[in-house]
Amino acid sequence: MSSPESEAKRSRKFVEQLQASQIYRDYEQAFRETTGLPLALQPLEGWGLAFSGDPKQNPFCALMAGTNHTCSACLQAQSELQAKACLEPASLKCFAGLCDSAVPIRVGENVVAFLHTGQVLLHQPDAKVFQRSAKQVLKFGADVDLKKLEEKFFQSRVLTGKQHESIIRLLSIFAQHLAALSNQLAVQEEHSESPQIGRARTYIHEHQDEDLSLEQVAKAVNMSAFYFCKMFKKATGMTFTDYLARVRVEKVKNLLLNPHKRISEAAFEAGFQSLSQFNRVFRRVAGESPTAYRDRIHPAG
């Protein structure tokens, strides 16, 4: 029986592969344009705010994401939602009354990922509802402009019960398509990735903050550097250097969810050896500069 750690790693790999698929990219775009809502494909035990940086993110939630205490509350709610959605689609309201929903994607009997949307109200907002939310925000100890917070809260998207049910049905149908694709990926994995490559992936994730070399990883899994290089590219579709760069960039993105974390600190914590190297790699992998990314997830003002 697989351990929770190995299942979580497998889930992260499935999510990476599904996100790169044309079917997911096409559906994601259509869903966002049709509903106006954010959409995330979340791995098991995914950490990080699901809709951080999403252009469809609720403006109230975007403002709250800049405060560590409310981030913690949102992460806890996200964890509870995943636990609730392991058997069937589920919805959960946060302290502010905003509703998030998750739909499981299965390979056989196992859940490998979740489709996640939400940050919507299922009733018209009023002053009393906001006052209760603001009181809780103050209890968290968050330093936030309540006037601006109220303005953002009343910009929240409101859905009727019927609209909400229809969106969950759409996600459930899409989850079935992604489940079929996940099954194909599982079969391919069994035939294409050796246990040594799996151990190499694990080693890279565990040592990404070090000055890691291809030779070091190859030695750790008892392969020659030449053979490891060839097999790793065949199994992952990426060179060792590109794979390590993506792992480190994702680490930086998660570290920068903390608005108080300096970009240079995040870069070195993730394993980059120089800021010039980091800036070049981040822009190539993420399609934007680190500063632009941070400004987008933590807008000033």
* Confidence grade of residue 276 (pLDDT, cut at 50, 70, 90): very high
**Phi, psi for residue 59 in degrees, rounded to 5:** -60, -30
Give mean pLDDT, residues 131-151: 85
Sequence spans of domains, the chain: 4-189, 193-297
* Confidence grade of residue 185 (pLDDT, cut at 50, 70, 90): low
Paired with 105 in beta bridges are 113
The predicted structure's pLDDT at residue 9 = 77
Is the CB of residue 199 less than 8 Å from the CB of residue 60?
A: no
CA 164 → CA 104, 110, 208, 266, distances in Å? 17, 26, 41, 38
| Amino acid letter, 139 | K
The predicted structure's pLDDT at residue 282 = 92
Q: What is the pLDDT of residues 219-237, one digit of tens each?
A: 999 999 999 999 888 887 7
| Amino acid letter, 214 | L
**Triad 207, 20, 245: Cα angle to 5°:** 25
Is the CB of residue 39 less than 8 Å from the CB of residue 116?
A: yes
Residues 6+ apart with CB under 8 A from 69: 140, 141, 142
Q: What is the pLDDT of residues 97-136, one digit of tens each?
A: 999 999 998 876 778 889 999 999 999 999 988 998 888 8
Please report, rounded to a whole number, the percentage of residues in the chain having pLDDT higher than 90: 39
4-189 topology per CATH: Beta-Lactamase (3.30.450)
Buried b (16+ CB within 10 A) or exposed e, 36-69: ebbbbbbbbebeebbbbbbebbbbbbbbbbbbee
Q: What is the pLDDT of residues 58-72, one digit of tens each?
A: 999 888 876 655 566
Is the CB of residue 290 less than 8 Å from the CB of residue 263?
A: yes
pTM value > 0.85 = no
User: Where does 193-297 sit in CATH, by number?
Assistant: 1.10.10.60
Residues 6+ apart with CB under 8 A from 194: 231, 235
